[in-house]
Amino acid sequence: MKKKILMISLNDIGSTVSLGVTKKIIGQYKAFQKIGYETYNLCLDEGKGVMFYGNEKIVLFPKQVKTYVAYIKLFGMTKKICKEKNIDVCYIRYPLADWVFCRMIKQLHNYCKIIVEIPTFPYDIETKNQTNIVTKFNYWQDKRNRNKIKKYIDLVVNYGECNQIYGIKALKISNGIDINSIKYIEIKNKNDNEINLITVALMRKVHGYDRIITGLKNYYSKGTPEIIVKYHVVGNGDVLSDLKEMVKNEQLTEYVKFYGIQSGEALDQIFCHCDIGLTVLAGHREGLSKMSDLKSREYCARGIPFVYASEDDAFPKEEKFHMRVSQNDDPINIEQIVEFALFVRQHDEIHKYMRKYAEKNLTWEIQMKKVMDTIKNL
């Protein structure tokens, strides 16, 4: 008989605000199924409480005006679901250890093993810039409760170097991808005098794309270059307006284009004309010297060489399809990116090699199998 897993998160899959997180959760959900587990996924969808099972979506309660009310209702249903479905393992995306979360894991611990994924750790640095009173109160609750939750959690999954978090055994994994949902791109840009860069992200300071814009300013300040570099920015986010203002002030509107949120065929068409992808370029702003970002893995699956700053164990130094830049706030050296892009053009086989590398090394099935093999032995 198949073991049963209940995935639990507060992510709203119907929202465009956190598309990256949604992709990740769906990828993990499919991966658990592929490696042989009967899997349920409990989350929100445009404010409604829903549960996925196979291709079926079950609406558990209607849209809630207040997100916090939806949160309480969703987590309040987990005990009943675990009992009715005979769940063996709960896989929970960590929401902070407030009273709702603590009550839930205390109840669930009596019925199944509990795995908690903490996407970013340590995360206390994120509290420094918080001004919302409710958010600050939730962080206060978390600090008060975090050392009490070890009695109820069997394993913490994280993307850093920790062997223990809050006294709980921690397993390091890497971000993964749902390879079948990512289209391999045939690059169509053959203009020898033009290089196109692309960013696809929910823009935050940690991404460091201001470094690219300042780098472009420096690049064009020396006069008209032999090779034109254009920058395609896809997505939205907290710092998008700041980036647009920078581009305007530095008179770079001819070279930088903002598309907003794009997906599907529209996004594929933008990718077709781009040479190099840009991932996280300022992890140091959140104290992250090593990262496991989703974007680099998606670029790899698409066959798009990429530039990154923080160390990532998934990509050995000897591989030729990526370029690492310094992890600081200095402007990115655009001449170096041009040199990298021209190298790639001379080695066209790199693109298909990247796709094969992703299929072999970067899928969620590999990562979720590692998690379940660990929990079996606890």
Confidence of residue 34 (pLDDT cuts 50, 70, 90): very high
DSSP state of 329: S
Is the pLDDT reported for residue 128 higher than 70?
no
Residue 106: exposed, middle, or buried by beta-carbon count in 10 A (0-12, 13-18, 19+)?
middle
User: What are the structural domains, with CATH classification, of the chain?
Assistant: 4-176+363-376 (3.40.50.2000), 180-361 (3.40.50.2000)
Segment 41-45 mean pLDDT: 95
The model's pLDDT over 188-216, given as tens digits with 9 standing for 90+, comes to 767 889 999 999 998 999 999 999 999 99
Q: Which residues pair with 90 in a beta bridge?
A: 6, 114
The pLDDT assigned to 161 comes to 82
Report d(CA 48, CA 76) in Å as an integer. Answer: 14
The model's pLDDT over 231-280, given as tens digits with 9 standing for 90+, comes to 999 999 989 999 999 999 999 999 999 999 998 899 999 999 999 999 99
Positive or negative, the Cα torsion across 95, 164, 311, 356? Answer: negative
Q: Which residues pair with 311 in a beta bridge?
A: 290
Percent of all residues in the chain with a pLDDT value above 70, rounded to a whole number = 98
Whether this prediction's pTM lies above 0.85 is answered by yes
Query: Are residues 350 and 184 in contact, defined by beta-carbon separation less than 8 angstroms?
Result: no
Segment 35-39 mean pLDDT: 97
